[in-house]
Structures are given as structure tokens and as C-alpha cells.
Structure 1
Amino acid sequence: MTQADVLRALDARAAGQWGLVTTAQAKLDGVQGVQLLRLERSGALESVGHGVYRLAASPPPEHLRIKVAWLRLDPGTPAGDRRTFGPRSGVVSHTSACAVHGLGGRPEDPVELTVSSRRTTRDGTVALHRAATDAEDITVVDGLPVTTVPRTVVDLLEDRADAARTGACVAEAAARGLLRVDDLAPLVAGFAGTYGLPEEASGAELLEFLCEQAGRPLPSRKAGRSAAKAAGPGAASNPERKRPTIWEVAKRAGVSHQTVSRFLKNDSGMKPATRGRIERAVAELDYRPNLMARSMRTQRSHRITIVLPELSGFVPIPLLRGASAAAHEAGYMTDVVGLEGGESRRARSVLSLLETRQADGVLSLVPLGDLAGGQGAGQRPVVVLGEYDDNLQSRGRLADGRPAEKILRHLAGQGHRRFLHVAGSQDWASARNRRAVYVEAVERLGLTSYRVVDGDWSVRSGYEAARDLPADSGVTAVLAANDYVALGVLRGFQDRGVRVPEEMSVFGWDDEEFTRYFSPSISTVHINKEEVGRRSMLSLLALLRGEPAPESEVEDLFHLVPRGSSGPAPH
């Protein structure tokens, strides 16, 4: 790869992430560390953090320290694939969220990020918080996932942040319309005692106290108290208020109620400006559709059923997560059910669900016989995802074995020439495909396969393959059928005193969560199952609306994730 080719590859990676690229991402494109060092010395790259570079031709991004720290949470994944909160992605929070929202921030502040699982960092300038974060608590600012302003204030109070600084953030946010004090007050009432107020103090009183500490009183609250006083004691004693109607939303937004109805149905043809006005009106009025009334009127349940086989030992969580997220964004709830029997029996059960109006549509991960796509009972749509068989064994796109050749090419580029493959159960199409591609690619690339070990997807099969490999086999790299097999291979070599990756490289498949935390972390193949689930659900939603089905193919369905278990071949 020439220097010009390297720069083009890096530029493509950095285009969607503020001119930044990580060492891990560069490796996925075949760019080695020594090439990055040469480019840094030539002035084409600037090191802006451990394992993160900025292309010199790109303008310095705002909040560079925050973006670098966020990229380093999952350096091998492009920023565009990490906009949703998950175990690897993380979200900007606390004082760093204030800075990104333009509500203050000091250069000496640590970068604060919230993650959903236990993580540690050796970087003294970064603070990691562990907490659950719902989708409604996250917004995207300049491509960064950031906690919303109300969630940020709650996080600061939970962390016992400085009263004056938190008050300045609240006052500025209220002045700019980024939060409503009346909405925030109930969320923060429990922190009154933490800041020296009486335990019975209200959330509004706490917010007023914080803002007074900052020298930024909240005039809107005083006006609100005056209005309440003028309204009389009855208004204060009756906190319940009438549910806002679709006509009130329409009046506030300056549109017809039919236009609001189109907005609530997620009409993709609506002008962005109109959509923005309605979104603001919905937020200001705290409007929530009355789903029960709508169900009675439209004969719709606003629920979608996702079908699995009964008592399956494997549940494709990422795929379900993607499908459910797409349904929820469109205003539907999802129910995941396991249906017993073969295709015809499951089909009858699905028809019963639709005929009794328990679901507006069905997304099935397993075959349903004659219901394989199109309309079910009462013109209610059924979509069958063709990626699994009756037993949830992968087939179709998810069983594609071609990434095995990518692994071989990657390892061959690091000097490996002799390989071992620990296969999965040959009852699975995915295992057969990976094995076939491995055998063909070894011959095509001029490499050598010591042998293929028949495994069964288990940790044990990987351990036994590593244990039984002769010391003089000449093998320097092992391709495991999945991450569990790779885990067994690693442990088998460790028990033999074989160092990984110094003496032996190991590559898994599936990017299971544990691969990031094992020592060494396990190189693997990531499969974007969430996007497969999302697009399948979007196809079902299009049928529900009578619209053309969207593109269902997922680009970059597979990508390699090299980690600590693989490296250059031993000399």
C-alpha cells in the first residue's frame, strides 16, 4: 500500500468523525502502526491521544479532548455506528455534556463519559461513570451522543457537583429554552437534603437555591408562583390537569389537526420545517397520544409481535434490539413470543394473533410456511426474516463465510503462513460456509493449513484443539469458529505456556461482549445484527403504511475487529 493509498484510506475513515482516526480503525484497512508513525513524522498526521490521530488537512474540531476520549472507548468501531447507547459506545455526560451543550466548561475539567457496563481507564484526564441511560436521555450534538440537559443536571446532582456551577448550568439552559424548570423540578426533589436544604424542600426550591448560588435567579419561577397565587388555592391543590388534545397541538404549531395526525403516523413526506414546529408543540404541551382511544377507533393494537421458536437455546439479542428500536420509534410496542411446533403450526398461531387483533403485524425470525411474507389475517402484514431456520440456526446473509478469507488476508499481512481452523458444528450452514471459505482461501492465497479440527461451537472443543496441537506443527495462527471456541483455544495455549499473541495468534467470530474483557482481548468478526433487525422491522412498517419496502441489504454487515489476541507472526 503506497503512502497515497494510506492517506486515502485514513481520509475515508476520518470523514465522518471530525477528521480523526484511530489506530484500530487504520488496522482494519491494512494500515500498520509504522506507516502511521511515518505520516506523523512527515506532518500529515497529528497524534491527539493514545491511539488517535488527526489528519493535518482537517480543521481542529471543537471539544477535541471529549471526542478523542469517546473514540477511545471503542476504537475499532466507526463513530457513525456508535450513535446509540450500548455496552461499547458510551455517552458524553456530566460536566463534559455541559461543555458540549455550551453551558460552561473549563479546560482542566476531566472528560466525563457514562458507560452501561463496568469499565476502567488508566487515563487520569478521563472519568467513567457507570449507569443505565434510556434513549430519551440521549441527544446527538455535532455527531456526539450526549446526555440531554435535564439528564445532565440530574447526573451532576447525583455526583454532588458544585452548587454554583450546577446552578449556572440550569439558569443558562432555562434562559435558552433547553429545559423547562417545571418539568425538571420533580426529577431533582430528592437531592434537596444533599445541598443543605430541608428534606421536605421541593425540586423547584432546590433549583432556585442552586441558581441563586450562581447569582442567576430564575425569574420564570417567580412569575409562575405569582400566576399560581392569582389563580387561587384550588389551582395549587389540584395538580391534575386536562390531557392536551391533538387540536391544541395543531393550534400551537400553526397547522391543521390532520397534519399533526400525519406527524404522529411518522409520515416521511412531511417538510422538515413543519415537522420541527409540531415536535416543539408536542414537547411544550407534553402531548401524549391516547393509544387506548386510538385502538378503539382504528381497530389497531399498536403492537407488533416478533416470533421465535419455543424454548430456543439461542436468542439473537442484537437483532431483537434493532427491530424493537425501529418499532418504538414508529410508535409501536413489541412482544417477543416463542411458538411451538413446525412451520404450519406456528403459522396457525400467527393467524390467531392477527385475527384476534392482538398484533398489527408480525416479524418472524423463523419460517412460517405459506405466510412467508405479505399479508396475514385482515390484511395485517407478516414479514419472515430469512436468516434463520426452524431452530434459529443462522443461514442466508448471517451465515456468509467470506469473512474467513478476510481474516486470513489480515493475518497473512502480519507474516503468518501456517494455520489451524477449529470449525463449528457441521449441522450449521454458517460453520460449513466458514470451513469451505477457509480451505479455498488458504489454497488461493498460497498459505498452508495444518488441519481443520471438527468442533461443536463449544469452549471445550477449542481448548482440546489447542491442547492437542503438536509443538512442532509450525502453526502460528488459529481461526476459531466463534468466540467461545476462541476462548477455549486461548485458555488451552495459556495452560501449555504458549504466549498469545507473541507465539500464537487467535481469531474468533461474533464479537461477543466478553471478548473485550478477556486477557488478552480476543480478535473477532463483528456482525451488524442490529441493523439487520432494524431494516427487517422497517420493511414490516412499510407494509403497515402501504409504502414501498426500503432497501434491506446491509452494507458492511461484517467487519474485522483485531484485538490483543492477534499480532505479527513470531520470527
Structure 2
Amino acid sequence: MKRATIYDVARQAGVSHQTVTRFLNGFEGIRPATRERVQVAIEELDYRPNGAARWLRSRQSNRIGILAHRMELSGPGRIIAGATMAARSRGFVLDIASMDGENAASVDEALDVIMEHQIAGVFATAQTVVVHDAVADRRLDVPVAMDSSETLGVSGVNPRSFPGRLAAAHLAELGHRRVAFVAGPQVWTASGERRSSFVEAAAELGLELVWEYEGDWSAESGYRAALDLPDDVTAVAMSNDSMAIGLIFGLAERGIRVPEDVSVIGMDDSPESRFHLPPLTTIRLDFEGEGAYLMNVLIAKIEGEDIGEVPRYRLPELVVRGSTAVAPSARGGT
């Protein structure tokens, strides 16, 4: 009788031969129901894996899979750039699978793509709870790094709690009291962290948060926010620079001057923020450093190194430019 092959197993289980190969190589990133069908088919066909499969299982891979969400945005793109440089310096190569981080099925499909290959670890740009939960649910048997859960700055604290606090402190120092905040999408973890830290610091500093708006990170959503901004607000903190630029444009259409009438502060310090008119006051974030840090944490896990020895990266810092000024009420004779 002819000996069964992986193609026979694949036909019997109703899966691709790549899935059978992944199963034989010991990858855990396969859905339980699929895993069970493959196991049953192997037993029914009395399939015996060859020595090559056993060799593949024990071989040390130098490939890392990246789950990438919204790479066109400044933050995610710069995180991946930093991660790529760090991986290359350690002799690792990257397999990048794009995904919609707000759609669980899309994340699952991206995981399927990278798990088709023998990889040493997974780097997930987990800007959303959806990505974090999807990766956790797969219970992968390779090391994982996700930026929403392992981010540490130079002081050992999460730098994502800093941008909102720095923005609130700057506006309070300029004498503003009635302020507004424009957040990013609620599903993004960074958006929630920036908003909550701003709200907390504003309350501590005596700022009155009189208006909030949820944008989508785009300049267009900042423009729409400007159309509804209350007249008695003297300063607005924005969750990213693109929305801040859109807000300034929208305010100009309403005849509201920045910073003479309303101060605007962004977050990220995107490359174009200092070339805007007026140049944008913002919170500088070390995205490249974050990407490098997380990639080095992942490689430390892969290599069995001490994660505590991985160099940290810079904490967020205030960059004052021309879009913020002393509050009108605090200007003598104004």
C-alpha cells in the first residue's frame, strides 16, 4: 500500500498542505478545530512524518513575523522602522503582514499568514485591544512582543501616561482654564491612555475640561472638530499632530486665530509639525526607540537573555513652538 503523504492528509482534513506542515513542525498558532481535523486525518491515514520535518522543528529560525496596523500613520510606521533596524542589527529578518487592527478576523488572517512560515517570534503593533486579544487567544508557542503591554521608558514607567500630563501642564502654565480635548478612536489603546492622563492631570491642575471630541487620527477629523469647538474654549489638546493641523485650518475658516484666540497642542512630533503655520507645539514621542526596545525585548526572549538588560528609550518631552501662547485672560491689558 502506498505511504500517505502530507497532501493526502491535507485532502482528508480539508486544509492546505501548508497547514499540515505547520502542524507537523509544532506550531501552536492553528485553530483548535483545524488542529483536531489534521490529527484525526493523520491517525486515519497512518501518516508518518519524515526526518526532514523533525529537522525543521528543531532548527533555530532567524525570522520574526510582524503584525502591522495602519503603517501609513506616523506613530505605527516609525515604531516598525525602529523595530526593523534593531532586528537587522541582531541578524534577524522580518515577515510583515498588514492587517486591520480593528477587525478580529483580519488580525486572525494576518496571524495565519505569518504562522505559515517557521518564525522565531511575533512582533504585534497592538494599537488596539482587538489585536491584543486576538494574539492572546491564539496562545502561540513562540515569544511575542506587543507595544500596548510591554512598553517601558528610561525610568521604568509606561511613557504613554506622559503625553496627556505634559500637555495639561503646559496649558495650565500658560494660564488657560477652559480647555478642550480631541481624542483618537476609542478602540486604540494609545488614544485612551492619552485622554485619561490629560483628564486626570487637568483636574489636578485646576483646568476645566468643557468639551471633548473623538476623531480618527486624520486631519479631516480635526477640521470637523474645529467647526463645533465652543467659543469660550481658550486651548485645545489634540491626541496627535495630524488632527491638530486639521483643527487649526478649521479654526482659521471660522476667523479664530491660533494662538492669539485659541492655543493648540498636538502629540507625536510628526516630521511636518514644525513646518506648519504656526509651527505646532507638541509632545515628542520616541517611536523609533519604542520599536527598537520592543524588538530587542522580543529577541531577548528568543535568545534566552535577560530582558532587564535591554536599553530603554527616551520619555516623551514637551516641544514648544508657535501654536500655544499665554491665555487671553492672563495677558495684561488684553
Question: Does TM-score exceed 0.5, indicating one fold?
Answer: yes
SS in structure 2 of the partner of residue 304 of structure 1: strand
Tell me which residue corresponds to 2:237: 479
Q: Does 1:466 align with 2:233?
A: no
The counterpart of 1:423, out of the listed 183, 200, 219, is: 183
Cα contact 1:372–1:384 (8 A) shared by 2? no
- What's 1:383 paired with? 144
Residues 1:521 and 2:285 are matched in the alignment: no
Partner of 1:21: none
Gapped runs of 5+ residues in structure 2?
1-55, 126-130, 150-156
The Cα of 1:553 is off from its aligned counterpart by 8.1
Could you list the runs of 5+ residues in structure 1 that have no partner in the other structure?
1-295, 377-381, 389-395
* Residues 118-142 of structure 1: per-residue CA shift (max 9 Å, x gap): xxxxxxxxxxxxxxxxxxxxxxxxx
Superposed, 1:97-496 pairs within 5 Å as 302-308=62-68, 316-338=76-98, 341=105, 349-354=113-118, 359-365=119-125, 366-367=131-132, 368-369=135-136, 375-376=141-142, 382-387=143-148, 397=158, 400-471=160-231, 473=232, 475-496=233-254
CA distance in 1, matches of 2:99, 2:212: 37
Which residue does 1:532 correspond to in 2? Answer: 290
Matched-pair contact (CA < 8 Å) for 1:420–1:451: yes
> What does residue 255 of structure 2 align with?
497
DSSP-derived class of the 1:323 partner: helix
Report the CA distance shift for 1:518/1:345 in structure 2 as closer, same or farther (over 3 A).
Answer: closer
> 8 Å contact 2:124–2:146 — kept in the other structure?
yes
From 248, 258, 264, the counterpart of 1:506: 264
SS in 1 for 2:192: helix
What letter corresponds to residue 546 of structure 1 in structure 2? G
CA distance in 2, matches of 1:476, 1:537: 41
- Structure 2 residue aligned with 1:221: none
User: What secondary structure sits across from 2:227 in the alignment?
Assistant: helix
In structure 1, what is the Cα distance between the partners aligned to 2:216 and 2:194?
A: 13
Kindly indicate whether the alpha-carbon contact (under 8 Å) linking 1:482 and 1:508 is maintained by their aligned counterparts in 2: yes
Q: Secondary structure at the match of 2:116?
A: helix
Cα deviation, residue 511, structure 1 = 1.8
Deviation at 1:541, TM superposition (A): 2.5
My pick for the range that moved more, 429-438 or 322-331, is 429-438
1:395-445 per-residue CA deviation (whole Å, 9 max, x = no partner) reads x957x3542222121122122222122233333333333333333333321
CA 445–329 in structure 1, closer or farther in 2 if over 3 Å, else same: same
- Paired residues of 1:401 and 1:430 also in contact (CA < 8 A): no
Which amino acid is 1:565 matched to? S
Do 1:542 and 1:550's aligned partners in 2 also have CA atoms closer than 8 Å? no
1:347 offset after TM fit, Å? Answer: 5.0
Check 1:324–1:456 CA distance in 2 against 1; reply closer, same or farther (3 A cut).
closer
Change (3 A) 1:426 1:542: closer
Distance 1:463 1:516 in 2: 19
Provide the aligned C-alpha RMSD in A.
3.4
CA distance in 2 between partners of 1:503 and 1:425 (Å): 27
Residues 60-71 of structure 1 correspond to what in structure 2 (within 5 A)? none
Provide the TM-score with structure 2 as the length reference: 0.64
**TM superposition shift of 1:560:** 1.8
Taking structure 1 as the reference length, the TM-score comes to 0.39
Q: Distance in 1 between matches of 2:110 and 2:216?
A: 29
Preserved CA contact (<8 Å) 2:217 2:240: yes
Aligned residue for 1:501, secondary structure, equals coil
Structure 2 residue 325 is the aligned partner of structure 1 residue 561: no
Query: In 2 relative to 1, CA 538–456 (structure 1 residues): closer, same or farther, beyond 3 Å?
Result: closer
Task: Return the offset for 1:312.
Answer: 7.2
Q: Is the 8 A contact 2:71 2:77 kept in 1?
A: no
| 8 A Cα contact 2:161 2:194, kept in partner | yes
Paired residue secondary structure (1:316): helix
Residue 360 of structure 1, CA deviation: 4.2
Aligned length: 254
Quick one: which amino acid aligns to residue 117 of structure 2?
Answer: L
Match of 2:38 in 1: none
Deviation at 1:344, TM superposition (A): 6.0
> Residue 451 of structure 1 aligns to a residue in which SS?
strand
Higher relative contact order (CA 8 A, sep 6+): 2
CA distance in 2, matches of 1:468, 1:345: 39
